[in-house]
Amino acid sequence: MLRVLLLLPLLAGPALAQGPQDQPLTVIARTKAEVARIARVLAPTTDFSKPETFEAKSGGAATVRARPTGDAFSQFSGNMPFERQMNFNLGNALFTKSWVPAPASTLASDGLGPLFNARGCQDCHLKDGRGHVPESPDESAVSMFLRLSVPGGANPAEIKDWLATQDEPTYGGQFQDFASTGIAAEGKMRIDYTEVPVTLGDGSVVSLRAPKYSVVDLAYGPMAADVMLSPRVAPQMIGLGLLEAIPEADILARVDEDDANGDGISGRASIVPAGSDGKAMLGRFGFKGGKASIRDQSAAAFQGDMGLSTALHADPWGDCTAAQDACRVAISGQEPGVRDGLEVDHQSLDLVTFYARNLGVPERRNLDDPKVLRGKQVFYDLNCTACHTPKYVTDRLKDQPEQSFQLIWPYTDLLLHDMGPGLADNRPEGRATGSEWKTPPLWGIGMTSQVSGHTEFLHDGRARNLLEAVLWHGGEAQTARDAVVALPKDDRDAIIAFLESL
């Protein structure tokens, strides 16, 4: 691995050899003719007797063949030029490698921690898919962690409706259950479940598991009395570059904060500080839309999950707080004059960003099956598409052929919605309240078992299947959820079949 990293300047393609990529996407304006044509293409369908034109290609020309293996989410964009594939492979090497604490003989791979949740990106994003919850209350959470915060703090970019919170003073913004030798891990997360029965309209009963989160074996004293805990399971990675390329105006056009149309849906935009200059931008990534770009999300993961410094988070101690003295003074992997003086230099961050941007979305399966088509109609009839927007046309982009001007089918509006008290973590994040979550994309959701070996859904994996995930919906989605409860079994099975085809 050391040899590979030393060769990066020689191997990386020209698109990544220009220096740090901390710039907005370069958008080429649409013509009037294109705008009119796109409006026709994006009009909601009313014909559920057959699939729509190009519906099989969820990621447009970037769609990949649906492989029947656990590697189905690990393919590069289907339209990637050959000369850019080396960058994808190098990004994959960085994404899958295990980092080690400093000092180490593998200088290009050291700097892990001192506190961390994972040794590598793919430790959480298993096969580029979803993480999983611990199998027992006392098992270490390998691909799941807790966000921490307390009330207070400042608005970093003077963003309207910003809900001020700050990191927990002793344990920081993320609970770390692993540590380098000589440093104490912060403790363990514990999850206790209570089964909650839900009776469906046909009399059958579904049991939901309601989680309760706590922390035990704390190494640095008690947490603040007003600490807010919010669990996160690592999400799937496919299609991120296409989500990044959706025109901002198309997302903001669906904002309806005061529910002016009276449909009970009040999508709000997450606006967050972005990049090295903290400019306010639309948040698209993270369960509450906390990051504006794939690069920002990747840098935050290097810092929070692995304790690695980047150009966006230059401190080598990651999430260690001032109260954790030994952690702050531990030997780091930063070497002055080498790799930008960072543990993850700008080129490595750019390669990981390129890799994450180009994980291809598999093509649809069984989309012409009558049961799937019926499920799609029920999905539309229940107004699930008010949040899970079916399709977009991405921006025409310079130097990003894979994401440029593609008709895509992610089934998300990328907006914040109040999901009710059942799903509330009661922890604000930026503009998102303690009961708001960003609508997740649904593409690939039917391949979760194949890729990740489980069917655990929602932000904390509490739902053990897709029906449970639907039944947890509340707030703005309460009407649609109640309609699913009342459905005849055949229609309920059909809507699940439709979701599994995505």
Answer yes or no: are the C-beta atoms of 101 and 180 closer than 8 Å: yes
Stretch (H or E) spanning 416: strand 416-418
pTM: 0.95
Instruction: Please report the pLDDT score of residue 18 as a whole number.
Output: 42
Largest Cα separation within the chain, whole Å, is: 69
The domain of 218 spans 2-501
Number of structural domains found in the chain: 1
pLDDT of 272: 97
What is the pLDDT at residue 23?
65
* CA angle in degrees (0–180, nearest 5) for 352-357-358: 100
Per-residue b/e over 205-238, b at no fewer than 16 CB within 10 Å? ebebbeeeeebeebbbeebeeebbbbbbbbbbbb
Q: Using the CB atoms, write b or e for 19-41: b if 16+ within 10 Å.
A: ebbbeebebeebeeeeeeebeee
- What parts of the chain have a pLDDT lower than 70? 1-23, 141
Q: Would you say 288 and 438 are in contact if contact means Cβ atoms under 8 Å apart?
A: yes
> Tell me, what amino acid is at 356?
A
Closest by Cα among 15, 2, 6, 3 to 351: 15
Spell out the SS3 assignment of 267-312.
Answer: CECCEEEECCCCEEEECCECCCCCECCHHHHHHHHHHHHHCCCCCC
Question: Cβ distance 365 to 58 under 8 Å?
Answer: no
Is the previous residue joined to 114 through a cis bond, with omega within 30 degrees of 0? yes
pLDDT at res. 5:
40
According to DSSP, the residues that pair with 396 across neighbouring strands are: 28
pLDDT at 17: 42
Q: pLDDT digit string (tens) for 354-402?
A: 999 999 999 999 999 999 999 999 999 999 999 999 999 999 999 999 9
Q: How many residues does the chain have?
A: 502
Q: What pLDDT sits at residue 107?
A: 82
- Compute the distance between CA of residue 382 and CA of residue 98 in angstroms, rounded to an integer: 45
